[in-house]
Amino acid sequence: MKLDFTYIDGGICAAQGYKASGTYCGIKKPANDSPDIKHKNDICLFTSDVPANTAAVYTQNKVKGAPLLVTKANLEKSGNKALAVIANSKNANTCNADGVEKAERMCELVADEMGINTEDVLVASTGVIGQVLPIEPIEAAVPGLVKSLDYGKNLEAATAIMTTDTVKKEFAVEFKIGGTTCRIGGMAKGSGMIHPNMATTLNFITTDCAISAEMLQKALSDIVQITYNCLSIDGDTSTNDMVLLMANGLACNDEITCDGEAYEIFKSALCEVMANLTKMLAKDGEGATKLLVCTCWGAKDVEAARTVAKSVVCSNLLKCAIFGEDANWGRILCAVGYADAEFDINKVDVDITSEFGTIKVCENGAGVDFSEEKAAEILKSDEIAVNVYLNEGERCATAWGCDLTYDYVKINGDYRT
């Protein structure tokens, strides 16, 4: 099967029939009062012109943000259909006694203004946990958000979900299913409290591909395992993580309702979008200066490979060494060694690779002589790959993370103010 994608612009508006809008309503402090907040938009709306099949994945944290509960309930009521999503940043609306009421109110405001049913509106929030969400600014903003909805306004939405993110995160691809052109586009926000065992922080993906709600959910749940669930910024699993995937069918391909080539093509395209968003999230981790990618090769099974790769990108000590551009490979082997998987540590090889070259640092579980100068050169790159070879089988997996820096501490030492 030949996979042929074209990367395109447009984020969540790349696919046919999706409009967006975003604005500043006053939940965030004004941008010039808060230098860590790079964009002032704090609320956005996006819609599908026709009801879209919608799949979702939620955090596995026991503490679940009120917006997740309301979104889940609305999808149940609507039979996994949605027309609109409203999302705010700077306040997670989580651990508040009136959280569900406020989240429901957000859906109701959009539904009333658009003249649609409340259960067709989904809601997401990201930001500080446990602060009461001010509803007045949202009530004041919704009419304007609805009025200014447009097909090209993906950027307004993509910046409105940013918290400590330094760059907006959008990715979209175009591909063909049976001669019909389809598109998948998405946007995501990071950049702290990100860890495996979840979806990840807010991710919204839209497609015009025609696909049943069941197959859509199946594709999303599968791809989450090898993308967002292999991402770690700081080991903290957020309370508000959610991925929403909407498919409105406007590309008019034959609806995908079962396994087969069309489904495989769709899934590959979705993986392309989600893997690229995952990489963007990792690279823009709070305070990060470098992307850290670990691929574990030669594992007996994918689970073992994933466990090892995740263990490496989660090591605080290695993350500090990467920041310091120090080829402290012993910390890689240490993290491999405490990964909860079965393999022979005495067969493990490790190399460190970047655009500037590759260097083997460990063979058969023991150090090998290498040039510290060459290692220093390789570590100057802002994208560092660590390859771990278990030499036991044929399976592999990749995990994404970033370095641990002074700025991570700074950002999180005083996040609420």
Q: Give the catalytic positions in this structure.
A: 200
Residue type, 248: N
CB of 100 to its own copies, least distance (A): 11
Burial class (CB in 10 A: 0-12, 13-18, 19+), 100: middle
Tokens 């019909």 appear where? 180
The token duo for 80 is 């996994």
Give the integer Cα–Cα distance in Å for 101 and 170: 31
Residue 290 contacts residue 321 (beta carbons within 8 Å): no
CB of 257 to its own copies, least distance (A): 36
CB of 371 to its own copies, least distance (A): 15
Residue 254 contacts residue 266 (beta carbons within 8 Å): no
- Measured CA distances, 102 to 77, 233, 244, 400 (Å): 18, 30, 20, 35
Closer Cβ to its own copies, 181 or 391, answer by number: 391
Closer Cβ to its own copies, 94 or 206, answer by number: 94
DSSP 159-209: HHT-SS-SS-EEEEEEEEETTEEEEEEEEE---SS--SSS--S-EEEEE--
Closer Cβ to its own copies, 215 or 404, answer by number: 404
CB of 372 to its own copies, least distance (A): 9
CB of 16 to its own copies, least distance (A): 38
Residue 395 contacts residue 301 (beta carbons within 8 Å): yes
Closer Cβ to its own copies, 42 or 234, answer by number: 234
Closer Cβ to its own copies, 39 or 290, answer by number: 290
Q: Which of 404, 352, 405, 402 is nearest to 377 (CA)?
A: 352
CB of 1 to its own copies, least distance (A): 38
Closer Cβ to its own copies, 18 or 323, answer by number: 323
Q: Can you give the binding site for its own copies, defined by CB under 8 A?
A: 60-63, 92, 94-97, 128-132, 192-193, 195, 197, 234-239, 314-317, 320-321, 323-324, 326, 328-331, 333-339, 343, 345, 362, 365-367, 404-406, 408-417
Please state the φ and ψ torsions of residue 132, each to the nearest 5 degrees. Answer: -60, 130
